A = this chain, B = another copy of it.
Amino acid sequence: MSGRYACDLAAVQAARERLHGVVHCTPVMTSSSFDKRAGRRVLFKCENLQKAGAFKFRGASNAVQLLTAQAAARGVVTHSSGNHAQALALAARQRGIPAYIVMPHTAPLVKRNAVADYGGRIFLCEPTLTAREQTAQRIAERTGAVLIPPFDHPDVIAGQGTTALEFLEQAPELEALVIPVGGGGLIAGCTIAAQGVRPGIRIFGAEPVGADDAARSKAAGQWLPQTSPQTIADGLLTSTGQLTWPVIRDCVERIFTVSDDEIRVAMRFIWERMKIIVEPSGAVPAAVVLSETFRALPGLSTVGVVLSGGNVNLDMLYW
């Protein structure tokens, strides 16, 4: 696969070495009552227990660690109101460099506080993509900080792929992985890694019906953007990227979609029975595995699900 995509297995393996002791090797959990409902054995890779609460810390750390000393000294910048913002702030602090985080002024206080807690310097802007990009651009120009985007970057994709390397070592019996698709960084990295060490392993994407650009793109055989997304899974609103889409197009077998109600049911099951906090976006693959369509798939006795994040607003109920 070398050279065809944004990164290759060697880059993911190098990221794994680099991130040793930096990221948590997150646990794999099981639930016999979940298995019963899914009709097969399901293993959960708990990236909700990752530092900063999501797999995003892997990609952000890999990108930050790979900067030269000279570039790193000027800091990093990104625009995000989500998990990438927290992840980058923490990754930068671990390297002892500044992180400038551009957030819309509409971002919930809990997210702003989390970024600030990790030492990120927050710049608020209007809640439009243009304002976010322009603000980040201005900061980059003024400070010399390096822009680290949330997914469409080779080092970020390689970092996210370490999730799959760990998962397959912890659970060699896995026959397939089910992975959420937002910008596609996680699924691209995991696909490159998993099919690199285990050719033939099946990779499925998981999307909300209300942000199903990857599913529509696969069906159309060409990249389609996500417009007007509407879903509780607020980490999966974005379109796939220039670097992530080709991997999804060529190597992911199929994208399954689930409704917000299905996401809520899966999320609540994980909280209530497995006693761990997963955010709506992180519960999407679990919801897929519980769906009729997925249950009907033949020939899959053990599947791996990535619980991608656990950052929620605890001031509200999700059901």
Q: Which residues does A use to contact B, with CB under 8 Å?
A: 27, 29, 33, 48-49, 53, 117, 268, 271-278, 310, 314-317, 319
Q: Are A310 and B275 in contact (CB under 8 A)?
A: yes
Q: A27-B27, A276-B277, A277-B276 are in contact. Are A314 and B310 (CB under 8 A)?
A: no
Partner of A275, one of B33, B48, B268: B48
Q: A27-B27, A277-B277 are in contact. Are A272 and B317 (CB under 8 A)?
A: no
Smallest CB–CB gap between A292 and chain B, Å? 22
Partner of A272, one of B271, B272, B314: B314
Partner of A277, one of B53, B271, B316: B271
Chain B residues near A317 (CB-CB < 8 A): 314-317
Q: Are A53 and B275 in contact (CB under 8 A)?
A: yes
Chain B residues near A27 (CB-CB < 8 A): 27
Q: Which residue of chain B is the closest to A27 with respect to CB atoms?
A: B27
Q: Which residue of chain B is the closest to A33 with respect to CB atoms?
A: B117
Chain B residues near A271 (CB-CB < 8 A): 277, 314
Q: Are B49 and A275 in contact (CB under 8 A)?
A: yes
Q: Which residue of chain B is the closest to A118 with respect to CB atoms?
A: B33
Q: 5 A–B contact pairs at CB < 8 A? A: A29-B49, A53-B275, A271-B277, A275-B278, A276-B276
Q: Which residue of chain B is the closest to A319 with respect to CB atoms?
A: B314
Complex Cα distance, B276 from A29, in Å, reads 13
Complex Cα distance, B310 from A29, in Å, reads 16
Complex Cα distance, B310 from A184, in Å, reads 33
Q: Which residue of chain B is the closest to A49 with respect to CB atoms?
A: B275
Chain B residues near A53 (CB-CB < 8 A): 273, 275
Chain B residues near A310 (CB-CB < 8 A): 275
Sample of 12 more A-B contacts, CB < 8 Å, known A29-B49, A275-B277, A314-B317: A33-B117, A49-B274, A49-B276, A53-B273, A271-B277, A272-B314, A275-B278, A276-B276, A276-B277, A277-B277, A314-B319, A317-B317
Smallest CB–CB gap between A115 and chain B, Å? 14
Smallest CB–CB gap between A227 and chain B, Å? 32
Chain B residues near A314 (CB-CB < 8 A): 268, 271-272, 317, 319
Chain B residues near A48 (CB-CB < 8 A): 275
Complex Cα distance, B201 from A140, in Å, reads 54
Q: Which residue of chain B is the closest to A318 with respect to CB atoms?
A: B314
Chain B residues near A319 (CB-CB < 8 A): 314-315
Chain B residues near A274 (CB-CB < 8 A): 49
Smallest CB–CB gap between A48 and chain B, Å? 5
Chain B residues near A272 (CB-CB < 8 A): 314
Chain B residues near A275 (CB-CB < 8 A): 48-49, 53, 276-278, 310
When A and B form their complex, which 6 residue pairs have the shortest distance between CB atoms, in order from nearest?
A: A275-B310, A275-B277, A48-B275, A276-B276, A49-B275, A272-B314
Complex Cα distance, B310 from A294, in Å, reads 30
Chain B residues near A29 (CB-CB < 8 A): 49
Complex Cα distance, B117 from A277, in Å, reads 22
Smallest CB–CB gap between A79 and chain B, Å? 24
